[in-house]
Amino acid sequence: MNTHPKIQSLFILFCLAIIFTIPALAQSEELVFSLSRDFGYEGFNGVDIQGTFSMKVSGPANLVKVTFYIDDQAIGEDTEAPFRLQFNTDRYMPGMHSLSAIGTTSDGKELQSKVIQKKFVTAAEGGKAALTIVGPILILVLGITLISAVGPLLIWRKRSNLPLGTPRNYGISGGAICPRCKRPFPLHMIAPNLLVGKLERCPHCGRVSIVSRASQAQLKAAEEAELAKAAGDKGQVTGMTEEEKLRKEIDDSRFQGM
């Protein structure tokens, strides 16, 4: 007895069954119901909401209409995918509410979604709750900003005793020229950046100002100007009397420890 044709026939029937069953399984007759915030407050507890939200539904390919509900009241419907309905919680009484949807397929079947429980809170309650969340974050940000702005100015209060015209290394941040004393100095990497320039304290004269990064040519010119000034000061000191020299040394010493 030859059983091969029967086995082949059974195998073909089995393959056809799988081919026709897979699309049926893929086309699930369940509604996927979700809620998203458009504008407003949503508590970390996952329950409290206030403001404008959207209910969304996806389902089988033959879904032709979705009716959206808050509690037992239909608040609207959508007949085109993606099925979506926007609502505002302020139009409803504060408290717990049930959100759901019913979908209708082209062959007349009605599909029930899951039910989402949410608590509608007032705008005042939502604002107060949001402030308790955002408030500490704002305080932290302001604190960091204040420290970054004031901290470097306090750290770099000590003035430099660098002689005029001394060559210096400006580092990767480059250098700037003080708008008051016209002396060049290196920029600090962590100095507050105010877009138009960095907030820096000049290590020579102590003035705080917003300065921009100078080119190598500008820094070199400022160093040469220092040398010229140093030469002029030296000549001036040479022509002084001993009393005038002593008075000048006393005046200069007043700024060295600042």
Decide: 194 and 210 in contact? Cβ < 8 Å. yes
* Domains detected in the chain: 27-126 (2.60.40.10), 155-256 (no CATH)
The pLDDT of 99-110, averaged and rounded, is 96
State pLDDT tens for residues 109-129. 999 999 999 999 998 987 776
**Prediction pTM value:** 0.47
State pLDDT tens for residues 177-232. 999 888 998 888 777 777 888 888 888 888 888 899 999 999 989 888 888 887 77
The pLDDT of 95-115, averaged and rounded, is 96
- For 258, residues 6+ apart whose C-beta sits below 8 A from its C-beta are 157, 158, 159, 206
The CA distance from 6 to 219, in Å, is 96
Residue 242 has a pLDDT of: 60
Task: Please check the confidence at residue 90 and state whether its pLDDT lies above 80.
Answer: yes
Residue 43 has a pLDDT of: 87
Looking at the chain, the whole-number percentage of residues with pLDDT higher than 70 is 70
Task: Please check the confidence at residue 234 and state whether its pLDDT lies above 70.
Answer: no
State pLDDT tens for residues 132-147. 766 677 777 776 666 6
Task: Please check the confidence at residue 250 and state whether its pLDDT lies above 70.
Answer: no
Q: Which of 11-15, 64-68, 202-206 has the highest mean pLDDT?
A: 64-68
Take residue 102 and report the two structure tokens written for it. 């019913």
